[in-house]
Amino acid sequence: AAQLDASGGGYDVVLDVTGDPRAVATAADHLRPQGTLVVASVVGRGVDVPFRTDDLVYREIRVQGVLSKDEAAVLAARALVEADADLRTFLGAMITHVFPLEDGAAAIDARAAGLPGFVKAAVRPNAG
């Protein structure tokens, strides 16, 4: 959410991939009326996400859940990012912590670990 605050608001679509219930709960605040919130993260069973449903209704916000896609969808998404330098910069700024492959478990647990300045973790599959 902090990254979105820095870039303005009134978006047509907001995609949440954080897995953080606080980010999911506030993501719709960055949408224009009749915008779409895409929830592509899993916060965990039994974790409450406090939506203000009246706000969603009055602003006619659409909420769409999605789950991981196949390789073709991942490659298409990568191609979109590679083709747009501004999008690449914007998305790259959200990755605040990078872990080597052997520390993949730490990347998965990074949000819960309360790392300073944490927004999103990534795993680098090679040493380069």
pLDDT digits (tens, 9 = 90+) for 33-45: 999 999 988 888 8
What is the share, in percent, of the chain residues with pLDDT greater than 90? 35
The fraction of the chain above a pLDDT of 70, given in percent, is: 91
Model-level pTM greater than 0.85?
no
How far is the C-alpha of 107 from the C-alpha of 128, rounded, in Å? Answer: 18
Distances from the Cα of 8 to the Cα of 2, 11, 29, 43, 54, angstroms: 10, 9, 11, 25, 23
Question: Residue 49: exposed, middle, or buried by beta-carbon count in 10 A (0-12, 13-18, 19+)?
Answer: middle
**2 band by pLDDT with thresholds 50, 70 and 90:** very low
CA 32, chain centre distance (Å): 18
What average pLDDT does the chain have?
85
Strands (E), the chain: 11-16, 31-39, 62-65, 95-100, 120-124
Facing residues of 65 across strands?
Answer: 39
Whole-number Å distance between alpha carbons of 62 and 52: 13
Q: Which tens digit of pLDDT belongs to each residue from 9-56?
A: 689 999 888 888 888 889 999 999 999 999 988 888 888 888 888 989
d(C-alpha 72, C-alpha 60), whole Å: 32
Residue type, 43: V
Q: What is the pLDDT of residue 127?
A: 64
- Mean pLDDT (whole number) for 67-90: 89
pLDDT (mean) for 83-88: 93
Residue 3's pLDDT is what? 46
Do residues 121 and 99 touch, judged by C-beta distance below 8 A? yes
